[in-house]
Structure 1
Amino acid sequence: MEKNIVTHNYRINREVRRKSYGHDTFLIFFTGLSGSGKSTIANVLEQKLFSEGIKTYVLDGDNVRRGINRGLTFSPEDRSENIRRIGEISKLFIDAGIVILAAFVAPYKKDRQHI
């Protein structure tokens, strides 16, 4: 399978976007218990950053589970897969020059460290 996958390097990359947008790009990962205010804090921070001209996007656990992670359960394996996918989605947004605010329940230390 690996031999069929080719990495393409484009001229418009993270560094070009960073210079154009005037800010760096990164992930802020909010984690905690359900109902602890992760999404609320991410929303308030996004409003502040956005008002300062910073390109942002919030990835919220409930919203992501309604789409790309719809088929996942709350088993330990699926919880880990949920967070792994969030990490991959975040990498794409980071490459696109967006500051990501991710609000998720992530009960396993190994998954948080992976992100």
Structure 2
Amino acid sequence: MSHSQVSSFFGTELQRALREQAFGITSFELVDAGPLQAGAKVTLLEGSAVTVTLTGRGYHWDAHQSQRPSVSASSSSGQVYEGIEDLLTAISPLYQQRFQETLFSKLAKLQ
């Protein structure tokens, strides 16, 4: 991937968002970054991989290009989420669990 692709707004933002969620995912790889969207292959804690795309509308995941994770019936491929946390919470029960554990740990340190 060229430097100009990685330095796109959407590519930079998607990488930043996924780095911040490193505690709740196994890994990610940016696979597309352009002027209107960016995409990344994200491996969930459950072991399945999804393609997460960021556009001007928000974040969504695509089951057609990815292994379908075990997701709740309320989460469907293509549904748009305002934040990466919302998307990951909807598709990964282990992310949701790890998020709560991390939050409680940080709150305990404040006491």
Alignment TM-score > 0.5, same fold? no
Which protein has the larger Cα radius of gyration, Structure 1 or Structure 2? Answer: 1
Q: TM-score range by the shorter chain?
A: under 0.3
Structure with more of its chain in helix, by fraction? 1
Bigger RCO (CA 8 Å, 6+ sep) = 1
Structure with more of its chain in strand, by fraction? 2
